């Protein structure tokens, strides 16, 4: 499942607003989820859009 940038940002905000005093297990899981979303957003910022190779259908 690929989420839009806006959806990732919304999910990240929601995760950051979760319970203030979670258990250690819940806190670790929460931190990993936040980190995963942050990495996904960084990857999207750094990855150039895919281009079609020469000779591919639809190429000029």
Percentage of residues of the chain with pLDDT beyond 70:
70
On whether residue 15 sits in a domain, the answer given is yes
Give the residue numbers spanning the domain of 23.
5-46
Mean pLDDT of the chain: 76
In a domain, 41, yes or no: yes
Q: What is the mean pLDDT of residues 19-48?
A: 81
Q: What is the mean pLDDT of residues 8-16?
A: 81
Residue 9 resides in a domain? yes
Whether residue 59 lies inside any domain: the answer is no
Q: Is 33 exposed, middle or buried (0-12, 13-18, 19+ CB in 10 A)?
A: middle
Quick one: pLDDT at residue 36?
A: 92
> pLDDT at position 55, please?
57
**Residue 42: inside a domain:** yes
Residue 52 to residues 56, 57, 60, Cα–Cα distance (Å): 6, 8, 10
Average pLDDT over residues 24-51: 83
Total tally of structural domains belonging to the chain: 1
The verdict on residue 35 lying in a domain is yes
């Amino acid at each position: 499942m690929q989420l839009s940038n806006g959806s990732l940002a919304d999910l990240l905000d929601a995760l950051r607003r979760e319970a203030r005093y979670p258990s250690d297990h819940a806190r670790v899981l929460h931190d990993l989820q936040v980190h995963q979303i942050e990495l996904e957003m960084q990857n999207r910022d750094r990855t150039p859009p895919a281009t079609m190779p020469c000779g591919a259908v639809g190429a000029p």
